[in-house]
A and B are shown apart, each in its own frame.
Chain A
């Protein structure tokens, strides 16, 4: 066996064995479970580094490298092709899991002696599952003999853009991150203790995982926008939905945790949400990796599908058993006092999110159910998702503002109306102004008006605080979680406006142009300057250089291109995008005729789409503030 394969397999099976030892009861096991966790991290790091080394040095005796490596691939993309295909991405999962487990063990090594053993047991059990998958159905370190001279390279779509380096790791940091709150929840369920100390660390880890998942979803949309050439960023594709489902349960969880911290209520609800979020990450991986989406009957061919189904079933049975047995121990210590208090708003928002999750789950699973039960292959059209998502999102947007305006525990109608009066008027006045700007689409108007409402409520509070001689820095220092949360909410508002406006007002134009001929879209004129080609080591590029003018003034040149890879029948396009805060001009080279020197170009003008990416960054920034706020002896 080649050295890399040997090292890789030793590390994987070593981690498997060590996790197994860590699960044994105290009298039988040879070593403390904490040491197993540290060993796993060490072994997984070595295995991952070995794989990256094999990819960079084109070691085709390693099966994964023979699958995704190629001598011509630029080294940057060769390194990150670590996660370009199934086996490598499971290796990444194993590494992130071992890192989170080790970090968790280390941080709380002197705290919570009653619960940490259960936490570690859970994390090691999850580890056993992934190391088993990594060792048997998805082993990237199989020996390839005779050693091929070269490989096919990674999927062309995955070596087109630098976002390949960021989106998958972020997604895994988020996805795998939810294993930790799940382990904490098991700790609670086993010991029957779910006090505020424990809740505090559960909240922190949930927030960290949520932050990464949010970033990953936005980056995923941005990447598909930049690469796929259709000018859109979200298609309710099952793989996209797989990443969205846990987000739809983790977001309300972050809020209902606050209710528990203050009032001791909703403990069972929170435990259930944590369990559901974790199971949804397993379901998401199952949907994406098992081949079940191609056909219900093909998923058993790869074997990995059955492993995941078994894990989901086991997780469901164990969690459900504990939840049903222990729920009286987590009974509510308070009750909802008034419809105008924040607890009520949070509860309503939670219900809306859960409904949203159910709807997306239904639409995603329906084709599978239909094929399994009736043998009929169907797909669920986008309108289903959009028609259900829009009213739910609008309601959530409105509640976001109302939640800020309502106090904890004691709220009354009079105070509530007084707080929302100003923002309501501003939102109402904004409607005719938006109408005059050309926004006449109902849902778009509602989205922007609700956003204005929620934003005004937050700004009113910040301004009135600063009026009392407090600087903005003091605000953040005194109540970092509240105002960090404001920033994250502002990010959501920016995204909501971006999504609403970009969906409602996209323009498109298509034309076949010879040199010097032009295409007009909006205020822009696109003219073809030249069609030429470049030979790169890993691909052949056909490029259309175009000249852009706006209102008659020449402003820029853009070069959409088509990339031909030797291993693929179709080219992959790289659209050219010119982004301003107002709108994006998006050019795709659809086809070309090398004899007539003409090109077919598609131009798409999308307003406000860059707001979505900026909004994502704002959310990330706000979450960081919340995450690292130290002054939290009492939640605000």
Chain B
């Protein structure tokens, strides 16, 4: 085989292996965005697959155990709600009715085990909208 043909063949083989590797790994690492009702609808098919779950914290559902760093709350959307367990300290502003995205998996018991908790905020900063009152009681710290 001529040298040039060999080189081209080599490059093509390398390119194809790279493409195969890349797309294969890509498929394994894609994380889908779902809402609580979508996740519930998936039922058994959704078990043990990493997803990002976005919703709103249900009023009165937050349980925070500081000693064991265990956070439990319900995440809801218009049509469904899911119990979430997280082993991270929630951000200071974590509260009822807050938009939250958790990354993790739904376990066999229907509870979502979160590996990462992200409070949803937009890229554009803007002053708090009507009715959003910044939590100002920490000001009591000023002696």
Chain A to chain B: the 5 pairs with minimum beta-carbon distance, closest first: A384-B29, A533-B141, A381-B29, A377-B33, A512-B66
User: Looking at the complex, which one of B92, B126, B139 makes contact with A592 (CB distance below 8 Å)?
Assistant: B92
Q: Within 8 Å of chain A (Cβ to Cβ): is B12?
A: no
Decide if A564 is an interface residue (CB 8 Å cutoff). yes
Q: State the A residues within 8 Å of B (CB).
A: 152, 155-156, 291, 294, 351, 355, 358-359, 362-363, 366, 370, 376-384, 387-388, 510, 512, 531-533, 535, 540, 542, 562, 564, 566-571, 590-592, 594, 598, 600, 602
> With A378-B30, A571-B92, A594-B137 as given contacts, are A384 and B25 in contact (CB-CB < 8 Å)?
yes
Given known contacts A152-B125, A378-B31, A381-B29, A533 and B18 CB-to-CB distance under 8 angstroms: no
Interface residue B104 (Cβ < 8 Å from any Cβ of A): no
CA distance A512 to B70 in the complex (A): 12
Q: In the complex, what distance in Å separates the CA atom of A534 from the CA atom of B85?
A: 35
Interchain CB contact under 8 A, B93 and A571: yes
| B90 cross-chain contacts in A, Cβ below 8 A | 591
How far does the alpha carbon of A569 sit from the alpha carbon of B141 in the complex, in Å?
19
In the complex, the answer to whether A355 meets B18 with C-beta atoms within 8 Å is yes
Closest residue of chain B to A239, judged by CB? B123
Residues in chain B near residue A291, CB distance under 8 A: 123
Partner of B67, one of A355, A512, A594: A512
- Nearest B-chain residue to A602, judged by Cβ: B89
Which chain B residues numbered 1 to 30 have a C-beta less than 8 Å away from chain A?
11, 14, 18, 21-23, 25-26, 28-30
How close is A521's CB to chain B, nearest CB, in angstroms?
A: 15
Q: Which of B39-47, B73-81, B106-114, B127-135 contacts A (4 or more CB under 8 A)?
A: B127-135
Known: A351-B14, A570-B121, A600-B89. A594 touches B138 (CB 8 A): yes
From the candidates A156, A381, A388, name the one contacting B22 in the complex (CB within 8 A): A388
Residues in chain A near residue B140, CB distance under 8 A: 594
Could you say which residues of chain B place their CB within 8 Å of the CB of A381? 29-31, 50
Task: Report yes or no: B33 in contact with A152, Cβ–Cβ below 8 A.
Answer: no
Q: Is the CB of A567 within 8 A of B92?
A: no
Instruction: Determine if B61 is an interface residue (Cβ-Cβ < 8 Å).
Output: no
CB-nearest residue of chain A to B125:
A155
A567–B66 touching, CB < 8 Å: no
Check A570–B89 contact: CB distance below 8 A.
Answer: no
Chain B residue contacts of A377, Cβ below 8 A: 32-33
Least CB distance, B38 to chain A, in whole angstroms = 11
CB distance from A428 to the nearest CB of B (A): 27
Contact in complex: A388, B21 (CB < 8 Å): yes
Report the Cα distance A355→B11, complex, angstroms: 11
Question: A590–B138 contact, CB under 8 A?
Answer: no
Evaluate whether A384 and B26 lie within 8 angstroms (CB atoms) in the complex, with A351-B14, A355-B18, A535-B142 already known: yes
Report yes or no: A363 in contact with B26, Cβ–Cβ below 8 A.
Answer: yes
Can you name 26 A-B residue pairings with CB atoms under 8 Å? A152-B127, A355-B18, A359-B18, A363-B26, A366-B26, A370-B30, A377-B33, A378-B33, A380-B30, A381-B29, A381-B50, A384-B26, A384-B29, A388-B21, A388-B22, A512-B66, A531-B141, A532-B141, A532-B143, A533-B139, A566-B134, A567-B128, A568-B134, A590-B89, A590-B91, A594-B140
Q: Which residues 96-124 of B have a CB within 8 angstroms of A?
A: 119, 121, 123
Task: Say what secondary structure dominates the interface of chain A.
Answer: mixed
Contact B91 A152 (CB under 8 A): no
Q: What is the bound-complex CA distance between A381 and B23, given in angstroms?
A: 13
In the bound assembly, the distance between CA atoms of A562 and B93 in angstroms comes to 11
Quote the shortest CB–CB distance from B61 to chain A (angstroms).
18
Cβ B21 vs Cβ A569 within 8 A: no
Q: Which residues on the B side are within 8 Å of A351 (C-beta)?
A: 11, 14
Interface pair A569/B93, CB less than 8 Å apart: yes
The answer to whether B29 and A380 have CB atoms under 8 Å apart is yes
Q: How far is the CA of A359 from the CA of B30 in the complex (A)?
A: 14
Residues of A close to B30: CB separation below 8 A: 366, 370, 378-381
Asked if B123 and A294 sit within 8 Å, CB to CB, the answer is: yes
Q: Does B58 contact A (CB under 8 A)?
A: no
Q: How many whole Å from B11's CB to the nearest CB in chain A?
A: 8
Give the distance in Å from the alpha carbon of A189 to the alpha carbon of B22 in the complex: 34
A residues near B18, Cβ cutoff 8 Å: 355, 358-359
Residues from chain B with Cβ under 8 Å of A568 in the complex: 125, 128, 134
Q: Provide the bound-state CA to CA distance between A533 and B142, in Å.
A: 6
Kindly report which residue of chain A lies nearest to residue B141, judged by CB atoms: A533
Chain B hits for A388, CB < 8 A: 21-22, 25
Residues in A neighbouring B69, C-beta threshold 8 A: 510, 512
Q: Do A383 and B121 touch (CB < 8 A)?
A: no
- With a cutoff of 8 Å between Cβ atoms, the chain B residues found around residue A590 in the complex are 89, 91-92
Residues of A near B11 (CB, < 8 A) are 351
Q: Chain B's nearest CB lies how many Å from the CB of A279? A: 21
* CB contact under 8 A between A591 and B33, given known A362-B22, A533-B142: no
Whole-angstrom CA separation of A382 from B32 in the bound complex: 14
Q: Which residues of A contact B92 (CB under 8 A)?
A: 562, 570-571, 590-592
Return the contact of B32 from the options A378, A512, A567 (Cβ within 8 A).
A378
Alpha-carbon separation in the docked complex, A359 to B119 (Å) = 29
Contact between chains at B89 and A567 (CB < 8 Å) = no
User: Given that A380-B26, A533-B139 are known contacts, is A569 also in contact with B31, CB under 8 Å in the complex?
Assistant: no
Minimum Cβ distance to chain B for residue A67 (Å): 10
Q: Which of A359, A380, A564, A600 contacts B138 (CB 8 A)?
A: A564
* A568, B69: Cα distance in complex, Å: 26
Q: For A379, give the chain B residue with the smallest CB separation.
A: B31
Name the residue of chain A whose CB is nearest to the CB of B134.
A569
Q: Report B133 CB to chain A, min CB distance, Å.
A: 9
Measured between beta carbons, the chain B residues less than 8 angstroms from A384 are: 25-26, 28-29
Residues of A near B33 (CB, < 8 A) are 377-379
In the complex, the chain B residue whose C-beta lies closest to that of A593 is: B66
Given contacts A377-B33, A379-B30, A379-B33, 10 further A-B contacts (CB under 8 A): A351-B11, A378-B33, A383-B29, A384-B26, A512-B66, A532-B141, A542-B138, A566-B127, A567-B128, A568-B134
A358: B residues at CB distance < 8 A: 18, 22
